Amino acid sequence: MRRGHRTPATRTRAAATAGGVRRARAARRTAGPLRGAVAAGAVAALLAAAALALAPLLTGCGGGGTGGGQAQGGRLAVVASFSVLADITANVAGDRATVTSLVPPGADPHEYQPSPRDLQRVAEADLLVVNGGGLEGRLLDALEAAGSQVPVVVASRGIPPRTPQPGEPPLAAGEVDPHFWLDPVLVKRYVATIRDALVRADPAGADTYIANAAAYGRVLDRLDRWIRRQVATIPPARRTLVMDHASHGYFADEYGFRVVGTVLPGVGTDEAPSAQRLAGLVTTIRREGVKAVFVEAGENPDLARQVAREAGVRLVDDLPDHSLTGRDGPAPTYVAMMKFTTRRIVEALR
Ligand SMILES: [Zn+2]
């Protein structure tokens, strides 16, 4: 049986790993021989260039020389657990870092199992960004077992997990809803946390990270206002959601929806529903006058299709909200993904 999310234990582990960020940072300041050599080489090269002609370059170097030396010789290597997080991180990192995602586009982060190659990529990274809330339980377990020293930042750190609204399916004991990213207002918290982690990993880039985070914050503000305008076109009584799994709680809280049911129990995609649950969901959809059932792209839509058919409502099965698409798809970025998802929801419920 696959495991759900949840577990205070996982959260504690994530927090403990984040504590490892501090240890790793301290270790980096005292610089191992290799890093020290790289940093010294880069500083020497900069000084030589400055001496040649451009004195102003020196002031541009900031406090270079201690910490973050690797960023002067090349870009930071940052690994994010899944594509949504990678795009958010890349917006903050700008051109000072190369940001890659462990879970490839189109794959379900709930089902992710790190491969040995993934663990190697993490081991070679300067920073690992995870969502938290139990989403990366298997990855963090594997890193802990491998004695990983890579700094880890939990993007959702400090965001209180939601409790289901009255009438929503309850969570299992200890289960945490990890889908904070489907609320752009909460993603601004991610941005601040990621910014601070990048500044710690690469102090020389602080001004860049702070400016990028502020600019992306304004993008998220515009996205938030755009979503509100779209949602306002749905009659209030129709702002009800039936999802494949409990993915849209934070979105619902922010934009005034009620999540009246889910096909799968819980906040993950790994538990099968009983026939009784499905029959109950059909009854709920009819009683509440729900207009559609929504499923993430890449998930098997068979059960949701069955429910939608029996209830006589629409099935929307292409929400890319757990995984961005490639450049040619409808959701190559977080902002494009949120707009596409919102449009699909609004069209179906209006
Ligand atoms: Zn999910």
What is the C-alpha separation between 17 and 271, in angstroms, rounded? 28
Tokens of 336: 């494009």
Q: Is the pLDDT of residue 43 over 90?
A: no
Please say if the pLDDT value at position 259 is more than 70.
Answer: yes
Sheet bearing 314-319, strands edge to edge:
258-262, 240-243, 292-296, 314-319
Q: Residue 3 has what DSSP assignment? A: -
pLDDT given for residue 23 in this prediction: 35
> How far, in Å, is the centroid of ligand 1 from the Cα of 324?
13
Distance, first Cα to last Cα, the chain: 39
In a domain, 279, yes or no: yes
CA–CA dist 249, 170 (Å, integer): 11
- Model pTM? 0.80
| C-alpha dist (Å) from residue 7 to 19, 138, 202 | 18, 12, 32
Tens digit of each residue's pLDDT (9 = 90 or more) over 290-334: 999 999 998 899 999 999 999 999 999 999 999 999 999 999 999
What's the token pair of residue 59?
Answer: 């002031």
Confidence tier at 115 by pLDDT (50, 70, 90): very high
Name the DSSP class of 104: P
Q: Identify the domain containing residue 321 by its residue range.
A: 233-349
Are residues 138 and 71 part of one domain?
yes
**What is the whole-number distance in angstroms between the Cα of residue 41 and the centre of ligand 1?**
46
CA of 296 to the centre of ligand 1 (A): 8
Q: What's the mean per-residue pLDDT of the chain?
A: 83
228 assigned to some structural domain? no
What distance in angstroms lies between residue 34's CA and the mean position of ligand 1's atoms? 41
The residue among 7 and 150 whose pLDDT is bigger is 150
Same domain assignment for residues 130 and 264: no
Task: Show which of 223, 254, 278 is a domain's final residue.
Answer: 223
- What is the distance in A from the centroid of ligand 1 to the CA of 334? 15
Is residue 41 over pLDDT 60? Answer: no
pLDDT at 73: 55
3 pLDDT higher than 50: no
User: Does a structural domain hold residue 29?
Assistant: yes
Q: Quote the ligand 1 centre to 270 CA distance (angstroms).
A: 10
Both 268 and 300 in a single domain?
yes
- Span from the CA of 248 to the centroid of ligand 1 (angstroms): 8
Out of 180, 205, 223, a domain closes at 223
Q: Is 80 found in the same domain as 176?
A: yes
Predicted confidence band of residue 165 (pLDDT cuts 50, 70, 90): confident
Same domain (yes/no): 69, 124: yes
Asked if residue 1 is part of any domain, the answer here is: no
Where does the pLDDT of residue 162 fall: very low under 50, low under 70, confident under 90, or very high at 90 and above?
very high
Residues 167 and 286 in one domain: no
Cβ-in-10-Å burial (0-12, 13-18, 19+) of 34 comes to exposed
* Shared-domain flag, residues 113 and 158: yes
Expressed in angstroms and rounded, the spacing between residue 179 Cα and the centre of ligand 1 is 6
Please check whether residues 15 and 148 belong to one and the same domain: yes
Within 10 angstroms of residue 17's Cβ, the number of other Cβ atoms is: 21
**Which of 63-67, 152-156, 161-165, 200-204 is predicted with the least confidence, judged by mean pLDDT?**
63-67
- Count of domains observed in the chain: 2
How far away, in angstroms, is 280 Cα from ligand 1 center? 21
In a domain, 3, yes or no: no
- 331 within some domain: yes
Ligand 1: distance of its center to the CA of 301 in Å?
Answer: 14
User: Bigger pLDDT: 22 or 186?
Assistant: 186
Measured in Å, residue 103 CA sits from the centre of ligand 1 at 14
Q: Is 218 inside any structural domain?
A: yes
Same domain? For 79 and 213 the reply is yes
CA 332 / ligand 1 centre spacing (Å): 18
Among 223, 256, 274, which residue terminates a domain? 223
